[in-house]
Amino acid sequence: MEKGDGLFFVTCPLLLNPSIPQRSLDLLSFQSKLVLRKQDGQKQIYDPIRKKWLILQPEEMVRQLILAYLLHERAYNPNRIAIEKALRINGRLKRFDILVYDAQAKPFLLVECKAPNIQLDETVVQQIATYNLALRVPFLMISNGPKTLIYAVDAENEEIEVLGEVPEPQ
Average pLDDT over the chain reads 87
pLDDT surpassing 60 at residue 10 = no
The answer to the question of residue 77 being in a domain is yes
Whichever domain contains 34, its CATH number is 3.90.1570.30
pLDDT of residue 161: 85
81 occurs within a structural domain = yes
Query: Which pTM value belongs to this model?
Result: 0.87
Asked if the structure places residue 109 within a domain, the reply is: yes
pLDDT computed for residue 28 by the predictor: 83
| Residue 3 maps to a domain | no
pLDDT computed for residue 11 by the predictor: 47
Residue-wise pLDDT for 136-162, tens only, equals: 999 999 999 988 888 898 877 778 888
Residues 126, 130, 148: CA angle, nearest 5 degrees: 50
pLDDT, tens digit, for every residue of 26-37?
Answer: 788 899 999 999
Strand partners, 160: 153
In a domain, 2, yes or no: no
Give the pLDDT band of residue 22 (cuts 50, 70, 90).
low
Burial label for 119, CB within 10 Å (0-12, 13-18, 19+), is exposed
The answer to whether residue 30 is domain-embedded is yes
Is the CB of residue 25 less than 8 Å from the CB of residue 69? yes
Q: Which domain holds residue 55?
A: 8-163
In three-state form (DSSP H/G/I as H, E/B as E, the rest C), the secondary structure along 113-163 is ECCCCCCCCHHHHHHHHHHHHHHCCCEEEEECCCCEEEEEEECCCCEEEEE
Residue 85 has pLDDT above 90, yes or no: yes
- The predicted structure's pLDDT at residue 15: 57
- Give the mean pLDDT of 43-68: 97
User: Residue 131 above 60 pLDDT?
Assistant: yes
- Cβ–Cβ < 8 Å for 102, 59: no
**pLDDT band of 8, cuts 50, 70, 90:** very low
What is residue 127's predicted lDDT score, i.e. its pLDDT? Answer: 92
Number of domains within the chain: 1
Helix, strand, coil fractions of the chain, as percent rounded to 5: 30, 30, 40
